[in-house]
């Protein structure tokens, strides 16, 4: 409980509760999404501008991720219905992060199947237990779930999924920004979840930067035309390059501080400050300590044999 509270204070800051920002962003344009069959809902700043998507098929919708808050998911469902006139037929959870799985219970109540990979599914209970006590206090009025609802597993390996008259490829990948990932590929589009963020820092949850770089190489090999990130608006393959550069910057700044002849009194804060200087326009700097701490630990000297 103490650890979770400490992490939450890092993630959202201390002091008074931040005001609710009512604005959110609904995107269903050819210019932004690359296909009128793809829609995106970005929640308000209060709930970290979490991005989730739908793909429209002839028989309904496939949802990609389920939002941090069920209240935001309801707004996404209403938006998607108003645009397409169709209902969700399947939802896919991309990684074990509250931003991805917290809408699972609501969707199941509505009769919508929710699936993910076996490796992602098995990590959800521990991640929920870590964050729920503190996040429920902040987001109780967004109906933050007290208990985890698990998506069904479609297996431990890459496979095709069919729903709503669509066939999508669900790639089962290893660690990246989280300990395990699913990436959905469909007609040149990649839905990457937390592996890619646009112009913002990433919620790092039990991942590894070396593995993360490898995941991005695997995504490049798929030769996508469009990247739909876990936070921010979509773009092209240049988002993979930008994410790679960001991870390399984290690694470089940690290495520089570790090897400094005159180390800072607070080395982690020094690394964070350097990264904020390198990425002054990036949103959600409160997410930065997680990846910095993890990278600092990864580069720690190992005891000899």
Q: Is the pLDDT of residue 7 over 80?
A: no
Average pLDDT over residues 45-52: 92
pLDDT band at 24 (very low <50, low <70, confident <90, very high): confident
Average pLDDT over residues 114-124: 99
Average pLDDT over residues 249-263: 96
Percent of the chain with pLDDT over 70: 91
Average pLDDT over residues 160-180: 99
pLDDT band at 247 (very low <50, low <70, confident <90, very high): very high
Query: Where do the domains of the chain lie, and which CATH numbers do they carry?
Result: 2-298 (3.60.15.10)
pLDDT score for 305 = 66
Average pLDDT over residues 116-121: 99
**Global pTM?**
0.90
**Token couple for 167:** 């066939």
Q: pLDDT for 204-230, tens place per residue? A: 999 999 999 999 999 999 999 999 999
Q: pLDDT for 279-305, tens place per residue? A: 999 999 999 999 999 999 999 987 766
The residue whose two tokens read 């979770």 is 4
- Long-range (24+ apart) CB contacts under 8 A made by 265-268 are 267/296, 268/292, 268/293, 268/296
Q: Which residues have CB under 8 Å from 59's CB, separation 6+?
A: 86, 89, 164, 165
CA neighbor of 226 nearest in space, from 217, 235, 218, 239: 235
pLDDT score for 55 = 98
């Amino acid at each position: 409980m103490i650890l979770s509270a400490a992490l939450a204070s890092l993630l959202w800051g201390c002091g008074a509760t931040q005001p609710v920002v009512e604005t959110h962003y609904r995107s269903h344009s050819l210019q932004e999404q690359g296909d009128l069959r793809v829609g995106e809902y970005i929640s308000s700043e209060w709930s970290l501008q979490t991005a989730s998507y739908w793909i429209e098929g002839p028989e309904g919708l496939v949802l990609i991720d389920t939002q941090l808050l069920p209240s935001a998911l309801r707004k996404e469902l209403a938006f998607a219905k108003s645009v397409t006139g169709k209902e969700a037929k399947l939802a896919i959870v991309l990684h074990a992060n509250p931003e991805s799985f917290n809408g699972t219970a609501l969707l199941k109540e509505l009769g919508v199947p929710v699936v993910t990979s076996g490796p992602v599914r098995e990590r959800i209970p521990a991640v929920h237990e870590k964050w729920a006590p503190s996040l429920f206090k902040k987001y109780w009025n967004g109906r933050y779930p007290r208990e985890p609802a698990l998506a069904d597993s479609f297996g431990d390996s890459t496979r095709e999924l069919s729903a709503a008259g669509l066939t999508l490829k669900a790639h089962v990948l290893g660690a990246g920004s989280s300990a395990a990932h699913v990436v959905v590929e469909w007609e040149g589009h990649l839905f990457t979840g937390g592996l890619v963020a646009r112009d913002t820092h990433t919620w790092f949850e039990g991942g590894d930067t070396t593995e993360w770089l490898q995941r991005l190489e695997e995504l490049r090999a798929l030769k996508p035309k469009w990247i739909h990130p876990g936070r921010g608006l979509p773009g092209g393959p240049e988002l993979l390059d930008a994410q790679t550069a960001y991870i390399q910057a984290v690694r470089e700044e940690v290495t520089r501080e570790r090897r400094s002849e005159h180390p800072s009194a607070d080395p982690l804060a020094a690394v964070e400050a350097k990264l904020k200087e390198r990425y002054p326009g990036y949103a959600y700097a409160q997410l930065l300590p997680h990846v910095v701490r993890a990278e600092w630990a990864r580069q720690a000297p190992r005891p000899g044999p």
